[in-house]
Structure 1
């Protein structure tokens, strides 16, 4: 039995590899099948009585014992083997864990020590973006080669050659000796910036040996250009450097004279003329206007515009229909007003008084039209037509039966604002404004209102469908103070958009107007006219371009045009110095950025005797004196100079000493302008020896022309220079008449320049011992389309919804600052009482702090 189990077990093990899984299940290798066979055999023998009972019992007992021993032995062997196998596996697993732990600790320690001695060849995550960055700087990384030894030599020479009162201050020295490729100087009123700029020019030309044909100094006005040249001549003479006006004009330029050089090199553009430079006489030499920011169209310029206007009116039905709609609108007395609006309450309260003088007012206007030869008009009755407005009697000058409209005559702009009614008590212009207001408030029928002698007849013909020639009419764009003839109105709006760096047609596409807003028609017509006008000018012989078109052709966006420029044209701006930088518009900024970019792309370099010099920019300005926003300039470009002119190294300098005014004049002016957004850390300090210690407050007076005349005479008698300033030319005309005897005396005594009358804008850059301000600096209107243009041009500074209106509110404060700081010693400010219907617009006088010692108020 024992051998059977063993042999069976062995057979099973030996044959296991020869049988599939089903065979292994029929003949299990654990010996159980042998036991079953033995039991079956025992049962069979017993059933057939084939064995002896006693023998069977004895054999059974003997076999049981033998089998038990054999099974025990076999079970021991199998159990030992199974226990060994399981113990071995468990020991292997536990030993492996211990080994891993010990091996990791040992390996980590060894690797850590080795890692201290070995550098990672690829530290950190390996980047998949391997493209190098783009250098956006407009300048090379360089320093002007002014060594310490050269600096000392410059300082010694200036100390020796200039008188004590002209010795530079420390901030001025920083400007003169700047080594940075980009420098901007915040130079307050009277800071001596022009003289300092001349000394910087001296360093470039004399000590660094930079040729004049590599230098461009940019000034803003024609007068300031020649004033700067005269200063250069005087200073250079002290260093025995040859210089005269002709030579100075080659490198002291205005932006507008400089851009002409960009057209002179091209065979197809040679001889091109600037529209703004065209003289009124075609046979005369073209000349640069004093200030292109304040250009008035002359006869020749208007003739070109009118010829294009005529062509387009005849050739374009769409344009013609738009113009006819504008003509109809322009002849109406105005949009109806709401009598319930509280804004009109104070004016309505005087309607009875206005009614009493209305016949006289109507007849006075009619007399002017008759004298000018424009009254009566065909098809219009000449008898005064009485009507009732809120129960009071007013008059129209006539009635056009075919148009079923009253005709009311206004005052033509050519008439002086001196005609009066009520025995001289009331200006005719004021009386006319009041009666027009009442018509708009209380009369709902059709009224034709004419305010221009030349345009009235043409407008009547257009209304009657009898267009014999292109309509000439006036239109008042939203935000303008008064109507302007249609061509100047087109020119003004287009120039504003282009000064902001916008294309006229594209900008108009980006605007939106309410359905009933007539400006929608105006700008649609302008969008058709302006591209046609540019084409018309380009077809002339020689070609004519507006300055804005010229700047746009070489702006930072015109890379291809810039790339074609000869290096000789570009190299003139290797070293560029710009004065009055705060008056730059987006168009000139874009052009300047384009030029500097192209210079850098070409790697232009000048090797001076002291070392290499690359293109650079020095900008001088004062954001407190930015006063041409209404023409499209913005102080933003100066306030954010480093973002518009990125540089590896940029230097900001504050020049705060004022060598013109006494301290109270400075403080009074700053108290007005400090409420605006501006460059921080500024405060002017009196620096002239004669002004230090003077403390004379700015005097505030109610408008009193006789007192003004007396004070002007007093200062003139004392031998002082006097300036009388106002925002309004009509106000200056009034004051001029009052000062006629004094002005005549000054001319007779050959001191005509001792008394000057000019606008606040015109006074910029000038000075006088005593300055008289007549009238407030007040924002006069709001402009929806200009607000939209500001947004399109990216001139919104703090996310404000009406950015242009906000900018204009700040500009009136800056205008007052400019006016006050013209004074050396005495400043008088004559103010009218605030108007009752001022619409809440900002005005400079509202910022006067009467509690401050630098103001003294005599208005009580």
Structure 2
């Protein structure tokens, strides 16, 4: 009887998914939250579920509608009306003193939120940083949450430093001065927060990602490789050493490497030769690279998805024979690399996340539980950029705190429309399906910061038009706070543009836009920002562009959070080429509705959106193509 009902339910769900995708969500019911190990069942590659059109439908339909037995969050913050009124009064005084801008009604909802688990969909230019600072003030000063039980997390050292500066300035007005040391404890990157915990729990002092001949800088490690930095000589040297050791010691590794590189079968001579470092073409990668660097890159990607590289069953993955041989060789290399790191008393950030997640999931010591106190109340910025590995760690941290009756809370602030780090394992699906990862006795509260205070209405409209074909997204609309001006405009596209041949034309355009920006009534700190996906076009431009105040060049990824009067984009807006191996790893993780290639196609459109929404009053786009995708 049970099997008949199951088949009927499955058939009904499939029919509703095909014809009424939103309705089908109601049939899913409570889901088992993801755990530290990838799911073994095959991922069902169904069409992505359409997003709800309102916050209420998102809470009622998309997430579980009954309490989860594994609920982490339960009790709301006990904020009294008098506390809220005192906060509002003091904010009015801060506005009058010119310390902050007056919060909007939607920003006040974030500042005074009572739910223990809250998602804030904060669009481009929505003023989320100031709102986040005021949220911290409310928690510390009015709800009297001890500072040692609160942590604010952002992704980069630069964004953390900006948050600290604003917090110190605002708290000074509240006559609650925050020292530099206290600000560093309060606001951290994920990796500095992890490093603090790993130092005490694992005795870690050195990270592979920070390995260099230079002395360590400060007490705040950052994984520069996540920001697109290349391996340095010391890191590359350690990879080569592990590669050579594995080649000498593992006959199976030698055989697989020779197959991959198209070399004759290995002989009795087991010393590595220069041929073993010839560039290897891995389908989907931007350029050929030596095998040890490719092994490292793909293993890191797998670990970011929450996969234990040593546990991968290559025979069960949907991939080519060539990719399967690559994976098997990668696993052997990764074991040898791990041994070498242990000998050198080094560790990777990925390994530390995995070890601590496992310890928390099994039977953590009282000492480890005590060290979780700073993570009792978490405010995480740019939540759309976290990876499954980080989400699994966060889940275990807050679950243990819940079991200790500490009353944990999590406010996740982000914008799925600006999720642009899929190549390093992040996905907006974690933010969109937040309650599956961080379940509560009731669904998380969902708030929207939908007013764009940066860009003009034409730019906001063109930005949203770029996202029309994105499949995994939260359905929302943004409203421009600025008024359109006759001199401004949305995205103007120059097609079939050849940078090498038409560089003088571009330089003249940049100068014209600089003059336009200098004549504006309100001058932006940056007059003209020129962005590209990669560095090649920027290097060509910088070689001819005279250094002038107010002109900045950067990749689109590094432009996030910045703005300029005029944004100039040099890009084709195209997705990366298909990557079969990463498609297989995506499926093996069991965490995603999309394939990796589908996710990359969405991400290309989101990257274009990020570029466009850097502009205040004008956007110019130069492409080699006949058109820009989405425009």
Q: Give, in angstroms, the shift of residue 574 of structure 1.
A: 1.1
Question: Match of 1:31?
Answer: none
In the TM superposition, residue 568 of structure 1 has moved relative to its aligned partner by 3.3
What is the CA distance between 1:556 and its match in structure 2? 6.4
Structure 1 pair 466/248, CA: closer, same or farther in 2 (3 Å)? closer
Match in the other structure for 1:603: 405
CA-CA distance at 1:170 after TM superposition: 1.0
Query: What pairs up with 1:439-458 in 2 under 5 angstroms?
Result: none
Give the deviation of 1:282 after TM superposition: 6.2
One of 249, 253, 258 as aligned partner of 2:188: 253
1:490-529 alignment, distance < 5 Å: 490-509=295-314, 511-512=316-317, 517-529=321-333
> Who wins on radius of gyration, i.e. which is larger?
1
Higher RCO, 1 or 2 (CA under 8 Å, sep at least 6)? 2
Task: Tell me the residue number matched to 2:76.
Answer: 143
The verdict on how the C-alpha distance between 1:244 and 1:498 changes in structure 2, with shifts beyond 3 A counting, is same
The partner residue of 1:722 within 520, 528, 548 is 528
Structure 1 contact 556–593 (Cα < 8 Å) conserved: no
The yes-or-no answer on 1:211 pairing with 2:146 is yes
SS of aligned partner of 1:142 = coil
Query: Does structure 2 retain, via aligned residues, the 8 Å contact 1:511–1:785?
Result: no
State yes or no: 1:273 paired with 2:206: yes
Runs of 5+ consecutive residues of structure 1 not aligned to the other structure:
1-132, 330-402, 404-460, 605-613, 835-843, 849-860
**1:824 maps to what in 2?**
616
Q: Partner of 1:845 in structure 2?
A: 628
Task: Please say if 1:305 is aligned against 2:98.
Answer: no
Verify: 1:773 aligned to 2:569, yes or no.
yes
Which residue in 2 is equivalent to 1:292? Answer: 226
How many angstroms does 1:657 deviate by? 0.4
**Aligned-residue offset at 1:172:** 0.6
RMSD: 2.7
> Which residue matches 2:335?
531
- 1:85-234 map, 5 Å: 135-139=69-73, 141-163=74-96, 166-234=101-169
* 2:585 match: 789
The answer to whether the 8 A contact 1:279-1:285 is kept is no
How far apart in 1 are the matches of 2:319 and 2:481? Answer: 55
Q: Which residue of 2 aligns with 1:566?
A: 368
TM-score of the two chains, using structure 2 as the length reference: 0.81
CA 1:561 to 1:488, structure 2 compared with 1: closer, same or farther past 3 Å?
farther
Closer, same or farther: CA 658–564 of 1 in aligned 2, 3 Å? same
Secondary structure of the 1:474 match is coil
Q: Is the 8 A contact 1:183 1:651 kept in 2?
A: yes
Separation of aligned partners in 1, 2:590 and 2:467: 24
Query: How far did 1:482 drift?
Result: 1.2
The structural deviation recorded for 1:554 is 2.1
* SS of equivalent residue, structure 1 residue 247: helix
- Secondary structure of 2:543's partner? helix
Structure 1: how far apart are the matches of 2:148 and 2:271? Answer: 60
Structure 2 runs not aligned, ≥5 long: 1-66, 519-525
> Is this contact kept in 2: 1:289–1:295, CA < 8 A?
no
- Choose which of 589, 595, 607 in structure 1 pairs with 2:391: 589
Identify the residue that residue 276 of structure 2 maps to in structure 1.
471
**Separation (CA, whole Å) in 2 of partners of 1:829 and 1:693:** 19
Q: Equivalent of 1:621, from 402, 414, 425? A: 414
How far off its partner does 1:787 sit?
A: 1.1
1:508-556 Cα offsets, whole Å, 9 max, x none, are 53554677x433322211011112211221222xx22111111111226
Q: Is contact 2:68-2:441 (8 Å) kept? A: no
| Pair 1:211–1:558, CA change in 2 (3 A) | closer
Separation of aligned partners in 2, 1:577 and 1:246: 19
8 Å CA contact 2:79–2:114 kept in 1: the answer is yes
- Give per-residue Cα distances to partners, 1:112-161, cap 9 Å, x unaligned: xxxxxxxxxxxxxxxxxxxxx9731112x222121011111111110111
1:277-356 mapped onto 2 (5 Å cutoff): 277-281=210-214, 287-290=221-224, 292-328=226-262
What is the TM-score when the length of structure 1 is the normalising length?
0.60
**Matches of 1:705 and 1:780 in 2, distance apart?**
25
**1:496 and 1:468 mapped to 2: Cα distance?**
28
- Does the 8 A contact of 1:137 with 1:646 survive in 2? yes
Q: Does structure 2 retain, via aligned residues, the 8 Å contact 1:319–1:528?
A: yes
Q: Is the 8 A contact 1:220 1:580 kept in 2?
A: yes
Secondary structure, counterpart of 1:699 in structure 2: strand
Alignment of 1:728-747 (within 5 A): 728-739=534-545, 742-743=546-547, 746=548
- Could you say which residue in structure 2 is the equivalent of 1:363? none
SS at match of 1:756: strand
CA distance in 2, matches of 1:646, 1:289: 29
- Residues 263 and 270 of structure 1 are in contact (CA less than 8 Å); yes or no, is this contact kept in structure 2? yes
**How far apart, CA to CA, are the structure 1 residues paired with 2:78 and 2:576?**
51
Helix, strand or coil for the counterpart of 2:121? Answer: strand
Specify whether residues 644 and 556 from structure 1 end up closer, same or farther in structure 2 by C-alpha distance, changes over 3 A only. Answer: farther
**Structure 2 contact 245–336 (Cα < 8 Å) conserved:** no
Does structure 2 retain, via aligned residues, the 8 Å contact 1:663–1:695?
no
* 1:712 matched residue in structure 2: 510
Please say if residues 275 and 545 of structure 1, whose CA atoms lie closer than 8 Å, have aligned partners that are also in contact. yes
Indicate yes or no: 2:559 matched with 1:755. no
Task: Trace 1:25-44 onto structure 2 (pairs within 5 A).
Answer: none
Distance in 2 of aligned mates of 1:829 and 1:725: 10
SS in 2 for 1:847: coil
User: Is this contact kept in 1: 2:111–2:132, CA < 8 A?
Assistant: yes
1:728 Cα offset (Å) = 2.5
Asked whether the equivalents of residues 209 and 225 of structure 2 are also in contact (C-alpha less than 8 Å), the reply is no
Equivalent residues in 2 for 1:627-666, closer than 5 Å: 627-649=420-442, 650-666=444-460
The answer to whether the 8 A contact 1:276-1:292 is kept is: no
The CA distance in 2 between the partners of 1:663 and 1:289, in whole Å, is: 37
* Residues in 2 aligned to 1:594 and 1:498: alpha-carbon distance in whole angstroms: 17
What is the alpha-carbon distance in structure 2 between the residues aligned to residue 500 and residue 167 of structure 1? 40
Q: Secondary structure at the match of 1:545?
A: coil
Question: Is residue 814 from structure 1 mapped to residue 606 from structure 2 by the alignment?
Answer: yes
State how far apart, in whole Å, the 2-side matches of 1:591 and 1:215 are: 17
Relative to structure 1, the CA distance from residue 520 to residue 642 in structure 2 (aligned partners, 3 Å threshold; closer, same or farther) is closer
Deviates more, 1:148-157 or 1:280-289: 280-289
How far off its partner does 1:794 sit? 1.9
Equivalent residue, structure 1, for 2:50: none
